[in-house]
Amino acid sequence: MHVQFPTFPGSLRSKMTPLESALSPHEHGFNAAIFGLTNGDGNPRGDVVFESAASGSHNGWPDVMSLADPGSALIIPWRPATGAVILNTFEPDGSVSPLDVRARLAATERKAFELGYETRFAMEYEAFLFWGDDEALAEGRYRDLKPFGRDLGYCDHLRHPQFEEFAREYILRLKSIGIGIASFHTEYGRGMVEFALQPEPALRAADAAARARLYLSELCEENGLLATFMARCTALGTESSSGAHLHQSLTQGGSNAFAVASDGDAPALSEVGLHYLGGLLETMRDFQTIFRPTVNSYRRMNRDEWSPVDVSWGFERRTAAVRAVTQPFPSGVRLEHRVSGADTSPHLVILAVLGGGLRGIERQIEPGPPEGSAEDGAEPLADNLPASIRALESSEAAREILGDGLLDHYVASRRNEWDAWQEWLATTVTEFEFRRYFEAH
């Protein structure tokens, strides 16, 4: 079995263990340092983990109590005699760990059910594929990597002769483990691809998104390729950056709760949909550091590249933070949250968005006019990590949705990320300095 754990930087880490060990109540599973993993395992700073209240020198880096979640178990058909299961984590007294984001998401999904709704979420990922080059990677020469395919062709399955075979294998692999792919195609960028997952209930959708990322990277490794979910790996102002757009809706009694009969062809959302949207918008600035968690995330903010920079919404507007999709059928009415980059944790993103939307329904929050109206003047989103951290830490709404333990731990993780960046700047002679000063007379 691959015993899997979703980390706060967004990756799905795993141990291999015999089936009997994976299911045993006597196995702990992971050291609690798994809660403190840093982005990129600390490169180039060397800070593999950061100390926190959960794990550190003060408590001797203990194990985290865990049990396999049977609802997440699956067989991996392309691996002989191998399966996978995701862990739930607990405190020594048996209570649910406050840092267990899956447990918090499951509780929020239950809240939606208590309000009379079932959740539907689907992640749409963008990523860049490169040919692997161990020597270049070891030396940090990422710009020397050659992209998979040529040119910038959007939806061009002829960009590389292996593309169709690669895409087919990926779709079939995910289908074999119960993860539906709506589409897989090339995007606007050399080596760039996009894949859209089929909608699922909130927790299943988050698990599916994490596994889809993992298994894309795995398939790439098998084919001499490398996938990056870095928000921006191309120069600013060129090609595209990698987003993770989140499609969502609620159903009630088998019908789409966001859909409403409208006069003529005018697009419209139901009252429930509008209030849910109002909650998304009201909490968007608070959750910016979940949607944009790294220094690199903010290099993706560019309205002209359809990466939102303000708290806005509109019908079929990809330049807005939330795109309301109301055509062509009532069953497909949904909201597309477009803020997150591909470098996010799907579990945290879906938790934040669902929590914000349900808050909007409970408080009947109005979203304001759509983008393009006379009342335009949307509030900007923070354009740097420290400002986003401060907004999250001071948010009462975020504390209510995430809980104190999860919020404070995530804030600590993002402060560590900013400190790593600042330390690197303070101790590194940058490419800018060499190019500007080295040959100056």
Residue 172 lies in a domain: yes
Residues 315 and 220 in one domain: yes
The type of residue at 2 is H
Co-location of 117 and 81 in the same domain: no
**CB-based burial, 231-243: b 16+ in 10 Å, e otherwise:** bbbbeeeebbbbb
Is residue 114 domain-shared with residue 28, that is, in the same domain? Answer: no
Distance between CA 259 and CA 330 in Å, rounded?
5
Q: Tokens standing for 353?
A: 């968005």
- Whether residue 439 lies inside any domain: the answer is no
Residues of the chain with pLDDT under 50: 373-375
Helix (H) or strand (E) holding 281: helix 271-284
Residue identified by tokens 């790996």 is 233
Residue 145: inside a domain, yes or no? yes
Name the one residue in this structure whose structure tokens are 């049977």.
70
Looking at residue 193, its pLDDT comes to: 92
Q: Is 254 a domain residue?
A: yes
* One domain for residues 87 and 180: no
Confidence (pLDDT) at 28: 57
Residues 77 and 139 both lie in one domain: no
Q: Flag whether 441 is in a domain.
A: no
Q: How is residue 97 annotated by DSSP?
A: P
Indicate if 6 and 128 belong to the same structural domain: no
Name the nearest CA neighbour of 343 among 414, 218, 248, 242: 242
For residues 64 and 188, state if they share a domain: no
For residue 185, give both structure tokens.
Answer: 């195609």
Looking at the 3D structure of the chain, how many domains does it have?
A: 2
- Distant-in-sequence, close-in-space partners of 34: CB < 8 Å, separation ≥ 6: 5, 7, 13, 64
Determine the residue type at 37. Answer: L
Domain endpoint, select from 93, 118, 152:
93
User: Which domain CATH number covers 75?
Assistant: 3.10.20
Q: Do 181 and 69 have their domain in common?
A: no
Domain end among 93, 123, 148 = 93
What pLDDT, on a 0 to 100 scale, did the predictor assign at position 330? 80
Q: Does residue 31 share a domain with residue 121?
A: no
Specify the DSSP class assigned to residue 302: B
Token code pair at residue 78: 């392309």
Q: Is the pTM of this model over 0.85?
A: yes
* Domain carrying residue 60: 2-93
Residue 374: the pLDDT is 44
Eight-class DSSP state of 70: G
pLDDT of residue 329: 80
Domain assignment present for 358:
yes
Q: Dig out the tokens for 118 from the structure.
A: 């079932």
pLDDT given for residue 116 in this prediction: 96
Q: How far, CA to CA in Å, does 11 sit from each of 41, 63, 182?
A: 11, 20, 22
| Sequence-ordered alpha helix ranges (H) in 115-159 | 134-138
- Tell me the backbone φ, ψ of residue 120, rounded to 5 degrees: -135, 115
Nearest one of 171, 131, 165 to 148, comparing CA atoms: 131
Q: 70 and 156, same structural domain?
A: no
Q: Are residues 78 and 162 in the same domain?
A: no
* Within-domain flag for 355: yes
Q: What type of residue sits at position 384?
A: N
Residue 48: name the closest of 20, 19, 9 by CA.
Answer: 9
Please report whether residue 334 resides in a domain: yes
Same domain, 282 and 396: yes
- CATH number of residue 373's parent domain: 3.30.590.10
